[in-house]
Structure 1
């Protein structure tokens, strides 16, 4: 019987791993499970919220070209002892010999009212909902509050302000926006947000979300016709519910080869993996991490199935890319461990570099 490899999740990391596995192990059976039949360029979802229409990639066609099978459905249960994955669209659990866990990340749970009254840019359905609501709100010259001073919140606020200048955009951050950037990088981000008309509110911790706005720690209210929750990411709890060892935050605990510390037939990649990079620092949740981890996990699995010792992972970060609308951006140079340098590229040149990086990421995942 062919060795059965199941990849659960077809984002940047899962799709990269699945396609490479299918090509390097033609004697194996590779099956990919994903809730949607399209590959999602997740790094463009803040653009989708502002009206951008991304290219569509059909997962069945992409995978078929490399010899892999595709199942559209949501993984609901995982039985590591029996090596079975329960999928909502299948009558019987899907058996595996090796599982690649690539479920990615989801919007971090917010305070009271966030789930009911806020939208996110963490998945395409929410991004399209945000686009439609923003279009309506802009016609009324209304206010949108973007909660989260990290890069997702910054990119979302800038994109909405540039595409809808009649909209009032407020960026609410519990600390200083762009705190992971260098001083030069942060100054450029704040100056660009100011130029775009974004009202930046630092030290504004949101403790509740209502239909008409948010409440801050201390009791102050900020009115908004629409609230966007962009305050961090978490991960699905499937692995934790299945008894697979997880690290803080629920990411799968892995060794240096991305193999689960508790189950030797499970590998985790991308945002789902509690992997560590140079200096032992946790790896960033990004496609810059996801793509090389997907490729590496596929090589490790292929090597072990062929009776070879896998090579060590060689990885370092180079830059962080931040879009600030379509005509401005920031390229933040970083050390190998992702700590920022003072060297930056800004303006239209940075926007062009970011666009090239995003296109390269899509090509690396899809082959198209």
Structure 2
């Protein structure tokens, strides 16, 4: 295990190859997955329309979300798919961007497939993924004109999420006192899966110079918060949590369920990129140990009590995220999780959007292809 992360070393560990899968096999699987999710008529969630625009549909809810659009942009920049990236960004700015009012500079978190806003408010995970994808695009392809001046677009987003309420109406997406991202700007609690300290490290370096200190503090605060949020024995965290990391039950999201699956992926990628928190290896081990003897994935309390829920939705997403935890450190479970992941099939039903995105991201990360650009 490297003592420094890929940001310094440039070494993106290909765990799949280390555990016996050939480079050709991996390349074929990546190409097939990308084409299935974006262009296969039966599986895709990506749809191109006139005027060089495209959107990604949450196929389970029949809407367009900032989560999905920003995920699509991140996948596109990772795989050097500039046309797809630009189409998604144009649609986002045309239909989701808020040009005025208390949400000025933010993006409506949900629109219908025609671009009408279902909700005016934003979801901060969209903004942070938009900003990171745009900075990568700038570094990989260079800035263009108008909407494709990627770095300027990113910096505008990063300014708003920090300074909203100070130099413009509304609420910031990060609490200015504890440097923690909020679930939505108006509330004072968080979502552990929103915490991306590996992004904040890069925002500090490539974002607005005046906010460098803020983002470094946010990265440190988020790593501490993730540790507080994950149960010491199971490694599980809640979907929503208070600022001290304890589960928040008021809205019905105080257990380990859909949103929370992403925490394992985030821990793995942060460890891969920056290797700043040795605890992450322990967290990955605890999580993988907890699920190692579980025959079915379902909803759990963070201390590991199984909670029955008949509409369990995202079994593949959880499988992919738990495999990604191996990026934080190998253990006796690594081979099992990689094999289970490799043999898993893409979802083909109406709930394929979330699961297949997590599958694609895990595939890229585990093969050394989820990179800093």
Measured against the shorter chain, the TM-score band is under 0.3
- More helix by proportion, 1 or 2? 2
TM-score, normalisation: structure 1: 0.28
Find the structure with the greater CA-based Rg: 1
